[in-house]
Amino acid sequence: MSTKKLKIVSIAAEVAPFSKTGGLADVAKSLPKALKRLGHEVMVITPLYGQIIDTKTHNLKLIYENVKVYLNSVDKVQINFWQGYLMRGLPIYFIENKKYFSAKKELYGSRRENVRFLVFNIAALKLISLLKYEADIVHCHDWHTGLIPYFLKTDFKYSETLHKTKTIFTIHNLAFQLGHDWWAVPAEKKDYGKNKIPHITDSDIENINFAKRAILSADIINTVSEQYREEIMTTNFGQDLQQILRNREDKLFGIVNGIDYATYNPQNDPGLFKNYDCNKINNKKLNKDHLQKLLKLKVDQELPVIALTSRVTFQKGFELILQILEPLLHLDIELVFMGDGDKEYINEIKKFAKRYPKKMAWLSFKENQKMETLLYAGADIFLLPSHHEPCGINQLIAMRYGCIPVVRRVGGLMDTVANYNPRTNRGNGFSFSSFNPYSLYATIIRALENYRYQTNWHKLIFRVMRESNSWEIPAKKYVALYRQAMKRHK
């Protein structure tokens, strides 16, 4: 096996701790770090969201100013490039254009989203050329970076710096393919990935399908779990791209995400009331007491606390949750929700929280982000009954803190959560298959029944806390994929 040190560029629309709306930011931070620890040369590129990222707080240095970047023969923009560090020896570069990345406080939601990320894609390639960084691999994360593989096969094909570079495109969630809902694009306006990119003043640019072009152009495509890799080649999960994915099946792989064990560590997490590890599980109870007091719930160790931390969307199973909330709240349990998203769902959750103030609490993720790990430490059960789930990171974090997952058997949840069997003492959580409220309710009841047997429950906590879900193994799998991409001819 080759031991050559690789030169890798990782490109993503969000990178924690600088910018974050979801799990993509965690992956875009943690994977480059894991690759660096394996001895590879890595750099990261992301937009500079002016109203979110403070250049002084993060000690960013302006390295190129007012660089003219041509988007095509007519359109051009001026870009500033900044440099910071994710860790020692791992630079992160920021692309600044106030018009496209500093106009609002949110990362996304512009009516010209495709134009914004077209600018980002070309500016990222321009930066690599300016740095004369002869990358072996450009790793593109999700639709926001989808035109990079396309441009490396077209406009940048003969680039002095990039002509030997191979690309890998990671699908984090196939539902997101461009800056707007892919299904809202009229049939006659659909992008088939062959035509030239329109000028930025042409409204048709907002119909360009970044993800489709990446799938057609990348040397390697991967998803964030092995099960999701299988699912997206089917009509039910393929989001209208199943055929082109089946056509490129030999280039399509699945690698389950990891989590950063330095960031998520109950042994030294400053966000906890009392730190603990798998050998001091009783200290977890002190976090439960603290959480119950903090949220004005009934303080009672015997009451199982169920936590849910995710975006509040149909995808995450809220349609099912709302259908069983009433009977669920008649049980001897407590519920804690943390998340932002669909206003209708959130309003319904708030109504229940108002009716059952001693049994249920809802917290906005945006306003209470620092409390997230306290929820895992204080809760007994973690709930994620997703309709579809490419990987899911929260169930991995929950298990790291000894919070037992109840999930739907789909995508990455199927790859990471095995049904617990008390007779054999195997499994690490509770799962169900059919997307309906009865199956979800029955699985929660099964988890609650097992919770009553505290000796066995403690053994289950001990086992899930000892599982290895760090980035070390996934990072090695990515390196193997990179080497495979490098063997392929353009």
| CATH code where residue 213 lies | 3.40.50.2000
- The confidence score (pLDDT) of residue 238 equals 94
Q: For residue 408, tell me if it sits in a domain.
A: yes
Q: For residue 271, tell me if it sits in a domain.
A: no
Q: For residue 36, tell me if it sits in a domain.
A: yes
Q: For residue 297, tell me if it sits in a domain.
A: yes
Q: Are 358 and 432 contained in the same domain?
A: yes
Q: Each residue of 3-14: pLDDT tens digit?
A: 789 999 999 999
Q: Are 204 and 299 contained in the same domain?
A: no
State mean pLDDT over 109-136. 96
Total number of domains constituting the chain: 2
- The confidence score (pLDDT) of residue 126 equals 96
Q: Each residue of 420-448: pLDDT tens digit?
A: 999 998 999 999 999 999 999 999 999 99
Residue 431: strand pairing partners:
407
Q: Are 193 and 207 contained in the same domain?
A: yes
Asked whether residue 20 is marked as a ligand-binding residue, the answer is yes
Q: Are 332 and 347 contained in the same domain?
A: yes
Q: Say yes or no to pLDDT of 145 above 90.
A: yes
Whole-angstrom distance, CA of residue 345 vs CA of residue 185: 26
Q: Are 211 and 319 contained in the same domain?
A: no
* Short-list 360, 225, 341, 346, CA closest to 295: 360
Q: Are 300 and 333 contained in the same domain?
A: yes
Residue 332 CB partners (closer than 8 Å, separation 6+)? 302, 303, 304
Q: For residue 276, tell me if it sits in a domain.
A: no
Q: Are 344 and 248 contained in the same domain?
A: no
Q: Look up the pTM and report it.
A: 0.91
User: Helix (H, G, I), strand (E, B), or coil: what is residue 471?
Assistant: coil
Whole-angstrom distance, CA of residue 291 vs CA of residue 368: 13
* Short-list 241, 240, 260, 230, CA closest to 409: 230
- The confidence score (pLDDT) of residue 489 equals 61
Query: In the structure, what pLDDT confidence band is assigned to residue 73 with cuts at 50, 70 and 90?
Result: confident
Q: Each residue of 246-292: pLDDT tens digit?
A: 999 999 999 999 998 988 999 999 999 999 999 999 999 999 999 99
Q: Say yes or no to pLDDT of 1 above 70.
A: no
- The confidence score (pLDDT) of residue 366 equals 84
Q: Is residue 50 within 8 Å of 136, Cβ to Cβ?
A: no
Domain that holds residue 250: 7-258+472-487
Whole-angstrom distance, CA of residue 420 vs CA of residue 128: 48
Q: For residue 177, tell me if it sits in a domain.
A: yes
Q: Are 17 and 142 contained in the same domain?
A: yes
Q: Are 240 and 327 contained in the same domain?
A: no
Q: For residue 1, tell me if it sits in a domain.
A: no
Q: Are 196 and 326 contained in the same domain?
A: no
- The confidence score (pLDDT) of residue 23 equals 85
DSSP type of residue 110: -
- The confidence score (pLDDT) of residue 14 equals 97
Q: For residue 287, tell me if it sits in a domain.
A: yes
**Cis peptide leading into residue 17 (ω within 30°):** yes
Distances 476 to 32, 272, 289, 457, 483 between C-alpha atoms, Å: 12, 31, 40, 33, 11
CA angle 64, 66, 68 (to 5 degrees): 105
Q: Is residue 154 within 8 Å of 214, Cβ to Cβ?
A: no
Q: Are 443 and 483 contained in the same domain?
A: no
Q: Are 211 and 346 contained in the same domain?
A: no
